[in-house]
């Protein structure tokens, strides 16, 4: 397997906003510090959970640069950089690398999708643009396409394409990747199947749940990396209802709603993501409190 930017629990970090919808850097620094203290293995910033689709390119570059400077090498910073326009992706990736990101997480082209030749050329261009590691992000429910395994095989020949965040929810597809492209590290993109993915040879998770329960997600991954599957499965099973509620509406609406209630000051989601349904919110908070959710310092 290629050298990876991290193994274990990478938090898909929310982007905190002020009341006037600007980036809240004070809150961002508090969140990063909290994750360092609670042993999260990487910060994944400006991804889906970080509302990258509502951030300007300048905002994304500023957030990445701030996170890198604040983390100061204490934790890897993985920057989201995705687009359905390859030229725009290249520009985003250059800016992320120049801002100091340790690696890039890049979603497959969405809406216009891409055929085999297009998606391979898309990532080949990205690979030739930056020197830092690249993790491909496969999330068919959002993009309308699934990364072809034969394309991944071809792309794995490029030195800096090192991993895939696999969020199809399909364990058979994970198994196929591990068999066909063993040199690529597989990160679970679904909080509800971290243990199954790692049991098939995955190396960790890029987690929404870790925004609230960083210790438990880190410990679950550590146990799996140590070969303690039964103990890890207990944590996975215990988090099952939590994960269900955190995805009861479109991510990151539930997790941000929960974090604000717990006192984290992360602000509202930017439009077009709106306010969470009250009943779903109440049901979610009951489950989170029952599981011991609290603000971590």
Q: Report, as residue numbers or ranges, the catalytic residues.
A: 137, 165
Assess whether the previous peptide bond of 272 is cis (omega < 30° from 0). yes
Which residues 6+ apart lie within 8 Å of 34 measured at CB? Answer: 214, 296, 297
Task: Calculate the alpha carbon distances from 93 to 63, 200, 255 in Å.
Answer: 14, 30, 27
Q: How far apart are CA 40 and CA 54, in angstroms?
A: 26
- CA 156 to chain CA centroid, Å, is 20
* Stretch (H or E) spanning 186: strand 185-188
Assess whether the previous peptide bond of 252 is cis (omega < 30° from 0). yes
Q: How far apart are CA 266 and CA 218, in angstroms?
A: 22
Both tokens assigned to 29:
């620094």
Which residues 6+ apart lie within 8 Å of 202 measured at CB? Answer: 166, 174, 178, 185, 186, 187, 188, 194
Residue where the block lists tokens 């290629």 = 2
- CA 148 to chain CA centroid, Å, is 20
Q: How far apart are CA 129 and CA 116, in angstroms?
A: 20
Residue 290 phi/psi, 5-degree rounding, is: -60, -30
Q: How far apart are CA 79 and CA 259, in angstroms?
A: 22
């Amino acid at each position: 397997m290629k050298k990876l930017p991290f193994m274990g629990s990478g938090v898909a970090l929310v982007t905190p906003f002020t009341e006037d919808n600007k980036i809240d850097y004070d809150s961002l620094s508090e969140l990063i510090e909290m994750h360092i203290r609670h042993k999260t293995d990487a910060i994944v910033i400006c991804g889906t959970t970080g509302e990258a689709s509502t951030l300007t390119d300048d905002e994304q570059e500023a957030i990445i640069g701030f996170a890198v400077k604040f983390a100061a090498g204490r934790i890897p910073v993985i920057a989201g950089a995705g687009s359905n326009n390859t030229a725009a992706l290249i520009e985003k990736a250059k800016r992320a690398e120049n801002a100091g990101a340790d690696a890039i997480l890049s979603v497959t082209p969405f809406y216009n999708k891409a055929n085999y030749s297009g998606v391979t050329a898309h990532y080949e261009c990205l690979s030739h643009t930056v020197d830092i590691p690249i993790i491909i992000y496969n999330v068919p429910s959002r993009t309308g396409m699934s990364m072809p395994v034969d394309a991944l095989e071809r792309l794995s020949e490029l030195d800096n394409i090192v991993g895939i965040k696999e969020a199809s929810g399909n364990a058979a597809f994970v198994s196929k990747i591990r068999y066909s492209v063993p040199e690529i590290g597989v990160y679970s993109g679904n909080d509800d199947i971290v243990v199954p993915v790692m049991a098939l040879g995955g190396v960790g998770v890029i987690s929404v749940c870790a925004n609230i329960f960083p210790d438990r997600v880190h410990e679950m991954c550590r146990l799996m990396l140590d070969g303690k599957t039964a103990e890890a499965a207990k944590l996975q099973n215990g988090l099952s209802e939590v994960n269900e509620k955190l995805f009861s509406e479109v991510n990151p609406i539930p997790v941000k709603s929960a974090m604000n209630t717990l006192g984290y000051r992360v602000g509202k989601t930017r439009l077009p993501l709106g306010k969470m349904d009250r009943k779903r919110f109440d049901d979610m908070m009951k489950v989170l409190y029952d599981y011991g959710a609290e603000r971590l310092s």
